[in-house]
């Protein structure tokens, strides 16, 4: 039985060269393209901030409000259980002496 012969791997074929992508020359200060670039960047930032605010108000705000209401309800139930929750119209004597309390 003869020893296996090792053959070198075939020479790697280089990938075909990609054509150079021409992005143009860099924008120089003072050109109209610079103002357009700055304006476009500013509009993009403003749009992202507006999208974040919309997301906060519509989606994330609901989760925050639901969590806060759940915590307040849990606290109120524990106050009811220990009989320390305010259940009447007046909570302190200072409330009765305020001018706004006379109209209730």
Cβ contact 45:36 at 8 Å: no
pLDDT at residue 98 greater than cutoff 70: no
Using one digit for the tens of pLDDT, what is the confidence trace for 54-64?
A: 999 999 999 99
Cα(56)–Cα(48) distance, rounded to whole angstroms?
12
Q: Helix (H, G, I), strand (E, B), or coil: what is residue 58?
A: helix
Mean pLDDT of the region 69-95: 81
Categorise residue 30: left if φ over 0, alpha if ψ from -120 to 50, beta otherwise: left
Using one digit for the tens of pLDDT, what is the confidence trace for 10-62?
A: 777 777 777 665 567 777 777 778 888 889 999 999 999 999 999 999 999 99
Domain boundaries along the sequence of the chain: 32-84
């Amino acid at each position: 039985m003869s020893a296996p012969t090792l053959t070198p791997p075939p020479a790697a074929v280089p990938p075909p060269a990609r054509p150079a992508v021409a992005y143009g020359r860099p924008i120089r200060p003072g050109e109209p393209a610079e103002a357009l670039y700055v304006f476009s960047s500013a509009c993009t930032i403003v749009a992202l901030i507006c999208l974040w605010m919309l997301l906060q108000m519509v989606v994330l705000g609901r989760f925050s409000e639901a969590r806060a209401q759940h915590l307040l309800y849990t606290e109120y139930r524990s106050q009811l259980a220990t009989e320390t929750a305010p259940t009447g119209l007046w909570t302190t004597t200072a409330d009765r002496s305020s001018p706004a309390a006379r109209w209730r």
